[in-house]
């Protein structure tokens, strides 16, 4: 008995919704960009404790001590919740294929956490509801980033554009999206930890900023429902984080000016960076942006650019 689950990348914040909006994406060329977790049953004759295997292109950037790995911590949390239901955990082997660079702004830790919980829930034949799983995912994600925010785990788990609600009985609401748009993401390969990128933000904001933030977020959500693309992307401005974080990204301001020349509808920082995102409504311009970013924004061979569209599926068996 075994289950493998793929969990895709996501853009946290989406400029207008700090800690409040998140968008799940997949490349248009069909590549699976995200982490994979596989759960297999072990026989008591073969092993006397759970096993954890770490593979994938970014495995070497994670703690090599199994107990420090976030997926291991997910197993512990899942087993505790199972025990609360009166069910006994089975002996398992769990493999994490770590494909997304850590501290990339693409919801890397969410990919691992979501893939782990969905795979474990599938393996045990769905003992937990969607909302219970989401809460467990949020708690584990918080252990890594230092604060509870669902803007990566919710879209990664459920797909699409998710709006976090201040309501613990619901947590998130899926919003309508512009499905003909192309979201180009560029990871330059410089490291920006979410924790550090949160620490540089002010503890308080001026009333003027608060009003602008509310107007942009409310206007964007309204434009999504009305499918008013022009309005939506003209409001996609970050007044909360981008002014403080942009210096952490290589030539961010110069890059977004150049992308505007190429026809970009909007650009911003993906999550806490350093990935930059930029949106187009035609594929030809998105391809030109991809080429420009590959040439000018990437800082090493390990950087990458993908042309994506909204992924409505979220985490899924693979």
> C-beta of 194: minimal distance to ligand HSE in Å?
5
> C-beta of 262: minimal distance to ligand HSE in Å?
26
> Taking CB under 6 A as the criterion, which residues in 76-105 touch ligand HSE?
105
Contacts of 1 (CB under 8 A, 6+ apart): 40, 41, 123
Angle (CA) 174-199-196 rounded to 5° is 85
> C-beta of 20: minimal distance to ligand HSE in Å?
8
188 binds ligand HSE (CB under 6 A): no
Q: Rounded distance, CA 113 to CA 18, Å?
A: 21
118 binds ligand HSE (CB under 6 A): no
E strand spans, the chain: 2-8, 10-12, 21-27, 34-41, 51-55, 92-97, 161-164, 172-175, 182-187, 266-269, 276-280, 304-310, 316-317
Q: Which two tokens stand for residue 174?
A: 């899926």
- Compute the 3-state secondary structure of the chain and give helix, strand, coil in percent, each to the nearest 5: 40, 20, 40
Contact region with ligand HSE (CB under 6 A), list: 13-21, 75-83, 123-131, 226-234: 13-21
Contact region with ligand HSE (CB under 6 A), list: 125-133, 164-172, 191-199, 281-289: 191-199
271 binds ligand HSE (CB under 6 A): yes
Q: Report how far apart the first and last C-alpha atoms of the chain are (Å, whole number).
A: 14
Q: Residue 111 in contact with residue 66, Cβ under 8 Å?
A: no
Residue closest to 35 by CA, chosen among 50, 56, 60: 56
Choose between 69 and 152: whose C-beta lies nearer to ligand HSE.
152
Among 272, 275, 285, 309, binds ligand HSE (CB under 6 A): 272
Q: Residue 270 in contact with residue 14, Cβ under 8 Å?
A: no
160 binds ligand HSE (CB under 6 A): no
Choose between 13 and 69: whose C-beta lies nearer to ligand HSE.
13
Choose between 121 and 272: whose C-beta lies nearer to ligand HSE.
272
> Taking CB under 6 A as the criterion, which residues in 16-45 touch ligand HSE?
18-19
248 binds ligand HSE (CB under 6 A): no
Choose between 105 and 124: whose C-beta lies nearer to ligand HSE.
105
Choose between 194 and 216: whose C-beta lies nearer to ligand HSE.
194
Angle (CA) 317-174-129 rounded to 5° is 50
Applying CB under 6 A, the site for ligand HSE has a residue count of 15
Q: Return residues touching ligand HSE (CB under 6 A).
A: 12-13, 18-19, 105, 107, 149, 151-152, 194, 197-198, 241, 271-272
């Amino acid at each position: 008995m075994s289950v493998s689950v793929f969990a895709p990348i996501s853009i946290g914040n989406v400029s207008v919704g700090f800690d409040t909006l998140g968008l799940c994406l997949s490349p248009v060329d069909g590549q699976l960009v995200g982490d994979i977790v596989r759960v297999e049953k072990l026989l008591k004759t073969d092993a006397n404790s759970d096993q954890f295997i770490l593979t994938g292109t970014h495995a070497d950037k994670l703690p090599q001590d199994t107990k420090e790995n976030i997926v291991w911590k997910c197993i512990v949390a899942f087993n505790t919740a199972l025990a609360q239901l009166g069910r006994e955990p089975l002996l398992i082997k769990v493999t994490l294929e770590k494909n997304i660079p850590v501290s990339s702004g693409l919801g890397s830790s969410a990919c691992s956490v979501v893939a782990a919980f969905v795979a474990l829930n599938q393996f045990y034949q769905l003992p937990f509801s969607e909302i219970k799983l989401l809460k467990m995912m949020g708690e584990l994600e918080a252990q890594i980033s230092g604060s509870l925010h669902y803007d990566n785990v919710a879209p990664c788990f459920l797909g699409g554009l998710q709006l976090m609600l201040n309501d613990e009985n619901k947590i998130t609401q899926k919003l309508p999206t512009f499905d003909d748009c192309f979201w180009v993401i560029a990871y330059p390969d410089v490291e920006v930890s979410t924790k550090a990128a949160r620490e540089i933000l002010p503890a308080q904001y001026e009333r003027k900023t608060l009003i602008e933030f509310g107007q942009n977020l409310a206007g964007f959500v309204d434009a999504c429902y009305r499918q008013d693309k022009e309005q939506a992307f003209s409001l996609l401005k970050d007044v909360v984080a981008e002014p403080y974080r942009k210096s952490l990204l290589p030539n961010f301001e110069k890059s977004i000016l150049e992308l505007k020349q190429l026809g970009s509808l909007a650009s911003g920082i993906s999550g806490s960076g350093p990935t930059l995102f930029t949106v187009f409504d035609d594929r030809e311009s998105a391809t030109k942006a991809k080429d420009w970013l590959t040439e000018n924004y990437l800082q090493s061979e390990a950087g990458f650019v993908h042309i994506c569209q909204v992924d409505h599926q979220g985490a899924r068996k693979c």
